[in-house]
């Protein structure tokens, strides 16, 4: 087993209780309404969950990356939309806290960790998701700052965020640029309908002659790709953790059902076909657990983001895969009830499917992994 500290075990128990008391009763209704639960953001903040791996001087709880993985897994076991929101929020906070100026850190991070402000990170464009280097969005430097033009799609929290970190071409290279909501020329487009993660706002953003000051760049001008890649490397395992949490939630539902559903005078758990499904689910979950926990544990032990590139992409692909695969098996075990909303599995499967492209597709994860193997 993974060697968790007492603090990490306590965190797991606390988040599990929070998820069961605060999220489980609301999950179906929240999903049906498809509303972004802004009040829950405050609750996550009051539990210290918004800044688990951020240093204390910036308002974080400095519990480390593995602790963050555990919290996200436990939230996802019950309501993946909230886990996804938390995962995506860690990206901009990581980028600013590691690459931003002292002024940017003080200005932007504490309000996000207190749940007062929401930040999004906008890289994907209609003309190139995986081909991120083919950016059409451009920020042109003028005397009094940058003028940004372009469009972004699939931006988590785009419709509700107070600030957006944008990846844009600045000359030959790209930069990450902070744009505040309400800046003239920055418009929020349509909310993009999604099959799962129904409470998560995923929106299009447009920038038309949008002017921002020169000091809006995060890090140095031209360092957008290295910073974005480092940020994605650190954030991706959490997508795996959401898949793992979904798989565990689905497994527990299926196990309970298999013990209670009686056919031929005995629980269906006594049928070998059902036992084979349960055995496969158990193996898949435990195998994914190692891959998902590993990058966070390595970072906590002093590894650099560079050291975990392979482990990070592997964790994302494995966790997202197990979320779909185990939930499908759970649906099989429940028969007709498997696809009934009240048993939550259809919702969990739809949520798991959203993880397949998020933060890079499964194919892109394998390309990154293979690139590291072949070095
Ligand atoms: C729920 C959700 C939330 C998201 N949130 C954000 C966000 O907050 N910010 C953000 O910037 N983006 C976000 N995204 C976008 C996400 O990062 C992209 O969807 C993803 O990178 C894939 O890009 P694409 O959708 O354009 O697919 P494409 O790049 O068009 O890929 C299409 C297919 O081609 C394959 N493919 C592409 N290149 C290769 C290759 N070289 N070799 C083999 N196969 C390849 C892909 O694997 C895929 O199967 C989000 C997406 C989702 C679903």
Q: Model confidence over 1-17: pLDDT tens digits? A: 678 999 999 999 999 99
Q: Which atom of ligand 1 is nearest to the CA of 359?
A: 17
Whether the model clears a pTM of 0.85, i.e. scores above it, the answer is: yes
Q: Is ligand 1 within 6 A of the CB of residue 196? A: no
With H, G, I as helix, E, B as strand and everything else as coil, classify residue 89: helix
Given the CA of residue 88, which atom of ligand 1 is nearest to it? 8
Is 363 a pocket residue for ligand 1 (Cβ < 6 Å)? Answer: yes
Please indicate whether residue 134, judged by its CB atom, sits closer than 6 Å to ligand 1: no
Q: How far is the centre of ligand 1, averaged over its atoms, from the C-alpha of 344 (Å)? A: 27
Contact 247, 323 (CB under 8 A): yes
C-alpha–C-alpha distance, residues 117 and 47, integer Å: 16
The whole-number pLDDT of residue 1 equals 66
Predicted pLDDT of residue 176: 98
Total count of residues recorded for the chain: 375
Please give the C-alpha separations between residue 100 and each of 37, 40, 47, 93, 133, in angstroms, as whole numbers.
29, 27, 26, 10, 22
Please give the CATH superfamily to which domain 225-373 belongs.
Butyryl-CoA Dehydrogenase, subunit A, domain 3 (1.20.140.10)
pLDDT of 168 over the 70 cut: yes
pLDDT band of 87, cuts 50, 70, 90: confident
What number does the ligand 1 atom closest to the CA of 122 have?
11
Architecture in CATH for domain 6-113: Orthogonal Bundle (1.10)
Looking at the CA of residue 360, tell me the nearest atom of ligand 1: 21
Tokens 């400095």 found at = 62
Among 73, 83, 81, 78, CA closest to 12: 73
Q: Where in the chain are the domains?
A: 6-113, 119-222, 225-373
* CA separation for the pair 41, 22 (Å, rounded): 12
22-27, Cβ contacts within 8 angstroms, sequence gap of 24 or more = 23/75, 23/78, 23/79, 23/82, 24/78, 24/79, 26/79, 27/78, 27/79, 27/344, 27/347
pLDDT of residue 89: 84
Is 126 a residue whose pLDDT tops 80? yes
pLDDT interval class at 28 (50, 70, 90): confident
**pLDDT value for 88:** 86
Atom of ligand 1 nearest to the CA of 356: 53
User: Which residues are registered as beta bridge partners of 125?
Assistant: 128
- As given in the structure block, the two tokens for residue 68 are 């963050």
DSSP 133: T
Distance between CA atoms of 366 and 5, rounded to whole angstroms?
31
CATH code for the domain defined by 119-222: 2.40.110.10
pLDDT tens profile 318-363: 999 999 999 999 999 999 999 999 999 999 999 999 999 999 999 9
Pick left, alpha or beta for residue 205 (phi over 0 → left; psi -120 to 50 → alpha; otherwise beta). Answer: beta
Q: What element of type H or E holds 203?
A: strand 202-212
158 lines ligand 1 (CB under 6 A): no
**Minimum mean pLDDT among 25-39, 44-58, 139-153, 301-315: which range?**
25-39
Of the pLDDT bands very low, low, confident and very high (cuts 50, 70, 90), residue 38 is confident
Reply yes or no on whether the pLDDT at 193 is more than 90: yes
- 159 phi, psi to nearest 5 deg: -80, -15
Contact, 218 vs 227, CB < 8 A? yes
Give the distance (Å) from ligand 1 centre to CA of residue 356: 9
Q: Look at residue 210 in the predicted model and tell me its pLDDT.
A: 98
Ligand 1 pocket member 213 (CB < 6 A): no
pLDDT digits (tens, 9 = 90+) for 223-282: 999 999 999 999 999 999 999 999 999 999 999 999 999 999 999 999 999 999 999 999
> What is d(CA 186, CA 320) in angstroms, rounded to the nearest whole number?
33
User: 364: how many CB neighbours lie within 10 A of its CB?
Assistant: 18
pLDDT in tens, 90-122: 899 999 999 999 999 999 999 999 999 999 999
Question: pLDDT higher for 31 or 334?
Answer: 334
- Closest by CA position to 199, among listed 372, 16, 3, 32: 32
């Amino acid at each position: 087993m993974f060697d968790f500290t007492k603090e990490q075990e306590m965190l797991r128990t606390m988040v599990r209780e929070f998820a069961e008391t605060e999220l489980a009763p609301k999950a179906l209704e929240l999903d049906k309404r498809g509303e972004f639960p802004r009040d829950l953001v405050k609750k996550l903040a009051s539990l210290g969950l918004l800044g688990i791996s951020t240093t204390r001087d910036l308002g974080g709880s400095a519990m480390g990356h593995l602790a963050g993985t555990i919290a996200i897994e436990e939230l996802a076991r019950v309501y993946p939309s909230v886990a996804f929101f938390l995962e995506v929020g860690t990206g901009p906070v990581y980028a600013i806290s590691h690459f931003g100026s002292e002024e940017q850190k003080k200005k932007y991070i504490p309000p996000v960790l207190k749940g007062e402000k929401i930040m999004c990170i906008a890289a994907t464009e209609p003309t190139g998701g995986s081909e991120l280097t083919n950016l059409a969005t451009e920020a042109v430097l003028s005397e009094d700052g940058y003028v940004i033009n372009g469009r972004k799609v699939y931006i988590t929290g785009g419709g509700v965020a107070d600030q957006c970190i944008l990846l844009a071409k600045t000359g030959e290279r790209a930069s990450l640029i902070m744009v505040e909501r309400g800046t003239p020329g920055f418009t929020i487009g349509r909310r993009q309908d999604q099959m799962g993660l129904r409470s998560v706002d995923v929106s299009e953003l447009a920038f038309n002659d949008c002017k921002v000051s020169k000091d809006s760049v995060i890090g140095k001008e031209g360092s957008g790709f290295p910073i974005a890649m480092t940020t994605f490397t650190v954030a991706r395992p959490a997508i795996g953790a959401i898949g793992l949490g979904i798989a565990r939630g689905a497994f527990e539902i299926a196990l309970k059902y298999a013990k209670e559903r009686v056919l031929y005078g005995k629980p269906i758990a006594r049928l070998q076909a059902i036992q084979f499904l349960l055995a496969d689910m158990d193996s898949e979950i435990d195998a994914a657990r190692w891959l998902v926990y590993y990058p966070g544990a390595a970072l906590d032990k002093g590894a650099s983001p560079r050291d975990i590139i392979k482990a990070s992409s592997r964790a994302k692909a494995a966790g997202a895969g197990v979320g779909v695969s185990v939930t499908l098996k759970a649906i099989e075990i429940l028969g007709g009830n498997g696809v009934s909303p009240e048993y939550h599995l259809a919702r969990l499967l739809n949520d798991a499917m959203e993880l397949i492209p998020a933060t890079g597709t499964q194919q892109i994860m394998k390309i990154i992994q293979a690139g590291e193997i072949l070095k």
